[in-house]
Amino acid sequence: MKKLIRILSVAICGLLVFQSCGEANKKTDIVDSGTYQGVAEEVDSGEQEIYVRTTDGKLLELYFTGQTALTRADGTPAEFSELTEGGNVEVQVEKTGNKLEPIAVKIL
């Protein structure tokens, strides 16, 4: 019985360590509402999410909503699939508590 408890304890600890190594622990920054330029470091089409590294080095985590306007540099509407990792973007965000809501994203 003690051996079973020890094995279960080790397994649970292992799972906790494994989970803590995930990308959910990526250090992101919260900035004031406004417009920022930067590079799309990560683009996740499944989650409709991008990570943007701003020109001043901050990392913004942005989950698109149904109201997020996505456009090309010329102002025409764009599809999420047009966003590429390493591509330049301009984002307009609104700070809501400790979360950023992307109002508009322009592919530069």
- What's the pLDDT score for residue 2? 59
pLDDT in single tens digits along all 108 residues of the chain: 655 455 545 545 444 444 444 445 689 999 999 999 999 999 999 999 999 999 999 999 999 999 999 999 999 999 999 999 999 999 999 999 999 999 999 999
pLDDT score, position 19: 44
Distances (CA, A) of 24 to 15, 21, 28, 74, 80: 15, 8, 10, 34, 22
How many residues make up the chain in this entry? 108
Domains of the chain in sequence order: 27-107 (2.40.50.320)
pLDDT, position 7: 57
pLDDT of residue 79: 97
